[in-house]
Amino acid sequence: MTVQTTDVLVIGSGFGGAIPAYYLAAGGARVTVLERGPRAAAADFTHSMRLGTYNKIVDVIQGDGVSVVAGNCVGGGSVVYFAASLRAPSFVFERHGSLGRRLWPAALTRAALDPWYDRVEEALPVTRTDWPDVSYAGGVLAAACRRAGHTCNPVPVAVDTSACTNCNWMLSGCRFDAKRSLLLNYLPAAEAHGADIRPLHEVQTVTPSPLSGHRYAVGYTVLDPDDYSCTSEAGVIHARVVVLAAGAVGTPVILQRSALLLGGIPAAVGRYFSGNGDRVSVADIVEDKARSLLGLSRPDGSAYQGLPVGRPITAATYDHLDPTAPEYSRFTLQQIYFPPLTNLLAQAAGSPAWFGVEKRNMRARWRSWLTLLAMTEDDNEGTFGVVPLTGGFTRLAPGLGQGTMTYRPTSRTRRAWDRADTALRDILEKDGLSRVRPWSEDVADTVTAHPLGSARIGDDPATSALTDGHELRGHSGLFVTDGAAVPTSLTVNPSLTIAALAERAVATIVTRAADTGVALRRDVPLPGR
Amino acid sequence: MTGPDRRAILKALVATLAGLSADGLDSPVADAADASESWTTQTLEAFADTLIPGARRFPGDVVVAGAVTGPGAVQAGAVGLLASPELPVAPLLPAIAALLDARAVAYAALRLIWLPPTRPPFVGLSFSDRTALVGGLFDPDDLDRPIWQVMSLLVGLAFDTAGQQDTVEALGQGHPGLAWLRFPEPDPDGLWRFPDFSYGRPLADLHPNTTASGSPA
Ligand SMILES: Cc1cc2nc3c(=O)[nH]c(=O)nc-3n(C[C@H](O)[C@H](O)[C@H](O)COP(=O)(O)OP(=O)(O)OC[C@H]3O[C@@H](n4cnc5c(N)ncnc54)[C@H](O)[C@@H]3O)c2cc1C
pLDDT (tens digit per residue) in A464-477: 999 999 999 999 99
Rg over CA atoms, chain A: 22
In chain A, residues with a C-beta closer than 8 Å to the C-beta of B50 are: 355-356
Flag whether pLDDT at B3 surpasses 60: no
| Averaged pLDDT, B154-176 | 97
Q: What are phi and psi of A452, to 5 degrees?
A: -145, 160
B131, A352: Cβ pair inside 8 Å?
yes
Tell me, what's the pLDDT at B84?
Answer: 81
Q: Are A71 and A235 in contact (CB under 8 A)?
A: no
Tell me, what's the pLDDT at B13?
Answer: 61
If we measure between CA atoms, which residue out of A272, A268, A75 comes closest to residue A185?
A: A75
* Among the ranges given (A37-41, A422-426, A442-446, B129-133), the one the predictor scored with the smallest mean pLDDT: A442-446
Q: How far apart are CA A505 and CA A479, in angstroms?
A: 9
SS3 state of residue A202: strand
**What is A263-297 written as a DSSP string?**
T---TTTT-SBB-TTEEEEEEEE-HHHHHHTT---
Flag whether pLDDT at B16 surpasses 60: no
Q: How far apart are CA B12 and CA B23, in angstroms?
A: 9
Query: B40 to chain A nearest CA, in Å?
Result: 21
Q: Are A76 and B182 in contact (CB under 8 A)?
A: no
| Averaged pLDDT, A125-154 | 98
Pick B31 or A231 by higher pLDDT.
A231
A367, B192: Cβ pair inside 8 Å?
no
Q: What are phi and psi of A402, to 5 degrees?
A: -105, 115
Tell whether the torsion through CA atoms of B84, B86, B90 and B92 is positive or negative.
negative
Any atom of ligand 1 within 6 Å of the Cβ of A20: no
The pLDDT tens digits for B169-193 are 999 999 999 999 999 999 999 999 9
* Beta-carbon-side half-sphere exposure of residue A84 (alpha carbons within 13 Å): 31
In chain A, residues with a C-beta closer than 8 Å to the C-beta of B81 are: 51
Q: Are A347 and A439 in contact (CB under 8 A)?
A: yes
Interface test with A, best of B197, B201, B206, B211 (most A CBs within 10 A): B197
Q: Are A330 and A491 in contact (CB under 8 A)?
A: yes
Tell me, what's the pLDDT at B22?
Answer: 35
The pLDDT tens digits for B113-123 are 999 999 999 99
Q: Which long-range contacts (CB under 8 A, 24 or more apart) does A352-359 make?
A: A352/B131, A352/B134, A352/B135, A353/A437, A353/A440, A354/A440, A354/A442, A354/A443, A355/B50, A355/B51, A355/B52, A355/B131, A355/B134, A355/B152, A356/B50, A356/B51, A356/B53, A356/B131, A357/B53, A357/B67, A357/B68, A359/B52
- Four-point Cα dihedral A69, A135, B52, A401, nearest 10: -10
Q: How far apart are CA A7 and CA A15, in angstroms?
A: 20
b/e for B145-157, b at 16 or more Cβ within 10 A?
bbbbbbbbbbbbb
Tell me, what's the pLDDT at B8?
Answer: 60
Please name the residue of chain A whose CA is at the shortest distance from the CA of residue B155: A344
Flag whether pLDDT at A397 surpasses 60: yes
A428 alpha carbon, distance to own chain's centre? 27
CB atoms within 10 A of CB B209: 14
Residue B80 pLDDT level (bands cut at 50, 70, 90): very high
> Looking at the complex, does the CB of residue B168 fall below 8 Å from at least one CB of chain A?
yes
Q: Which residues have C-beta within 8 Å of that of residue A326, sequence separation ≥ 6?
A: none
b/e for A108-125, b at 16 or more Cβ within 10 A?
bebeebeebbebbbebbe
**What is A47-63 written as a DSSP string?**
S---TTSGGGTEEEEEE
As a whole number, the mean pLDDT across chain A is: 97
Q: Are A501 and A17 in contact (CB under 8 A)?
A: no
Residue B30 pLDDT level (bands cut at 50, 70, 90): very low
Flag whether pLDDT at A180 surpasses 80: yes
Tell me, what's the pLDDT at B7?
Answer: 58
Q: Are A499 and A511 in contact (CB under 8 A)?
A: no
Of B53, B87, B199, which has the smallest distance from its Cβ to A356's Cβ? B53
If we measure between CA atoms, which residue out of A341, A375, A310 comes closest to residue A137?
A: A310
Task: Give the H/E segment covering residue B130.
Answer: helix B127-137
The Å distance, Cα B12 to ligand 1 centre, comes to 30
Q: How far apart are CA A478 and CA A472, in angstroms?
A: 6
Please name the residue of chain A whose CA is at the shortest distance from the CA of residue B131: A356
Query: A213 to chain B nearest CA, in Å?
Result: 38
Q: How far apart are CA A244 and CA A241, in angstroms?
A: 10
Q: How far apart are CA A180 and CA A158, in angstroms?
A: 5
Reduced DSSP (H G I as helix, E B as strand, rest coil) percent helix, strand, coil of chain A, to 5? 30, 25, 50
B19, A143: Cβ pair inside 8 Å?
no
Q: Does residue B186 have a cis bond before it (omega within 30 degrees)? A: no
Tell me, what's the pLDDT at A213?
Answer: 94
In chain B, residues with a C-beta closer than 8 Å to the C-beta of A355 are: 50-52, 131, 134, 152
Which residue among A9, A15, A404 has the greatest number of ligand 1 atoms within 8 angstroms of its CB, and so is best to mutate? A15
Q: How far apart are CA A178 and CA A159, in angstroms?
A: 6
Longest dimension (CA), chain A: 74
Q: How far apart are CA B47 and CA B63, in angstroms?
A: 9
Q: Are A66 and A405 in contact (CB under 8 A)?
A: yes
Task: Give the H/E segment covering residue A231.
Answer: strand A227-244
Q: Are A151 and A317 in contact (CB under 8 A)?
A: yes
Q: Are A104 and A97 in contact (CB under 8 A)?
A: no
Q: Are B51 and B155 in contact (CB under 8 A)?
A: yes
CB atoms within 10 A of CB A388: 18
Interface test with B, best of A50, A294, A362 (most B CBs within 10 A): A50
B17, A396: Cβ pair inside 8 Å?
yes
Strand ranges for A245-377 from DSSP E: 278-285, 315-317, 332-336, 369-375
Q: Does residue A352 have a cis bond before it (omega within 30 degrees)? A: yes
Residue type for position B136: G
Flag whether pLDDT at A145 surpasses 90: yes
| Percent of chain B whose pLDDT exceeds 90 | 76
> What do you get for the CA distance between the two ends of chain A, in Å?
39
Q: Are A258 and A206 in contact (CB under 8 A)?
A: yes
CB atoms within 10 A of CB A351: 10
pTM of the model: 0.96
- Four-point Cα dihedral A442, A446, A449, A452, nearest 10: -150
* Ligand 1 atom closest to residue A37's alpha carbon, by position in its atom list: 47
Q: How far apart are CA A47 and CA B168, in angstroms?
A: 8
Q: How far apart are CA B52 and CA B64, in angstroms?
A: 10
Query: Residue B17: exposed, middle, or buried by beta-carbon count in 10 A (0-12, 13-18, 19+)?
Result: buried
CB atoms within 10 A of CB B141: 5
Which residues numbered 58-87 in B keep a CB inside 8 Å of some CB on A?
Answer: 67-68, 72, 81, 84, 86-87
Q: What is the total residue count of chain A?
A: 529
Tell me, what's the pLDDT at A109?
Answer: 98
> What do you get for the CA distance between the two ends of chain B, in Å?
59
Flag whether pLDDT at A83 surpasses 80: yes
Q: How far apart are CA A397 and CA B43, in angstroms?
A: 23
The pLDDT tens digits for A506-522 are 999 999 999 999 999 98
The Å distance, Cα A246 to ligand 1 centre, comes to 8
Of B152, B159, B207, which has the smallest distance from its Cβ to A319's Cβ? B207
Flag whether pLDDT at B36 surpasses 50: no
Of B68, B204, B211, which has the smallest distance from its Cβ to A142's Cβ? B204
Q: Which long-range contacts (CB under 8 A, 24 or more apart) does A512-517 make?
A: A512/A241, A512/A471, A512/A476, A512/A477, A512/A479, A513/A7, A513/A8, A513/A24, A513/A29, A513/A240, A513/A241, A515/A476, A515/A477, A516/A7, A516/A213, A516/A215, A516/A240, A516/A241, A516/A477, A517/A213, A517/A240
Kind of pairing, strands A66-71 and A58-64?
Answer: antiparallel
> Looking at the complex, does the CB of residue B37 fall below 8 Å from at least one CB of chain A?
no
SS3 state of residue A406: strand
> Looking at the complex, does the CB of residue B188 fall below 8 Å from at least one CB of chain A?
no
